[in-house]
């Protein structure tokens, strides 16, 4: 089952900008819901999926800017999902897991995942990673590059 939420209870349309789309893929409902609530409250357009076979179609239809996905899913292979998203879409991927195994992080880096987090991680850290990925996407989209400055000794 896939659910899409827009948080407009306490906010007017003028106060909220649903500029960025985030897809959360996790087979643990409590993690999905925690991430969804925190992202929606900050103005993101959020869709969630428990990580079943329909997630590939959801990625194509929802066209998220960022996909936050567990890499250890019950129904589908999380690494394969990351690989497909990275190679077939323009979405950035933030991989998360609870195993704490370095080889998982290394495989995600090889696949092209933008960020990787071992859980438990604080909500603020997850949100900061989302912002960092979106900032990187915006800089790349606008053709900006980082320039190093030389600093003289004080």
Q: Per the domain annotation, does 20 fall within a domain? A: yes
Q: Per the domain annotation, does 97 fall within a domain? A: yes
Mean pLDDT, the chain, whole residue set:
77
Q: Per the domain annotation, does 141 fall within a domain? A: no
58-114 pLDDT, tens digit per residue, is: 888 888 999 998 888 877 888 888 888 888 888 889 988 877 677 778 888 888 888
Which range marks the domain in which residue 51 is found? 3-129
User: What are the structure tokens assigned to 133, written together?
Assistant: 């990925």
When pLDDT is cut at 50, 70 and 90, the band that residue 22 belongs to is very high
Q: Determine the Cα–Cα distance for residues 120 and 58; give it in Å rounded to an integer.
A: 26
Q: Per the domain annotation, does 152 fall within a domain? A: no
Confidence (pLDDT) at 147 = 44
Q: Domain with 16 in it: what CATH number?
A: 3.40.50.2300
**Lowest mean pLDDT, pick from 15-29, 40-54, 135-149:** 135-149
Calculate the alpha carbon distances from 131 to 22, 42, 107, 135, 150 in Å.
11, 11, 23, 6, 27
For the cut 50, the answer to whether the pLDDT of residue 37 exceeds it is: yes
Confidence (pLDDT) at 136 = 81
Q: Per the domain annotation, does 19 fall within a domain? A: yes
Q: Per the domain annotation, does 139 fall within a domain? A: no
Contact call for residues 37 and 22 (beta carbons, < 8 A): no
């Amino acid at each position: 089952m896939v659910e899409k939420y827009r948080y407009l209870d306490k906010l007017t349309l003028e106060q909220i900008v649903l500029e960025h789309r985030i897809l959360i893929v996790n087979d643990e409902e409590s993690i999905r819901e925690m991430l969804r609530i925190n992202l929606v409250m900050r103005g993101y357009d959020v869709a969630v999926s428990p990580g079943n076979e329909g997630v590939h179609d959801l990625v194509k239809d929802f066209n998220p800017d960022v996909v936050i996905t567990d890499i250890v899913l019950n129904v589908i292979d999380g690494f394969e999902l990351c690989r497909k998203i990275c190679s077939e879409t323009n979405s950035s991927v933030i991989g998360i897991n609870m195993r704490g195994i370095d080889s998982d992080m290394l495989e995600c880096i090889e696949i092209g995942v933008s960020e990787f987090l071992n859980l438990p991680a604080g909500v603020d850290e997850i949100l900061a990673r989302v912002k960092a990925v979106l900032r990187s996407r915006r800089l790349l989209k606008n053709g900006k590059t980082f320039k190093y400055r030389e600093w003289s000794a004080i």
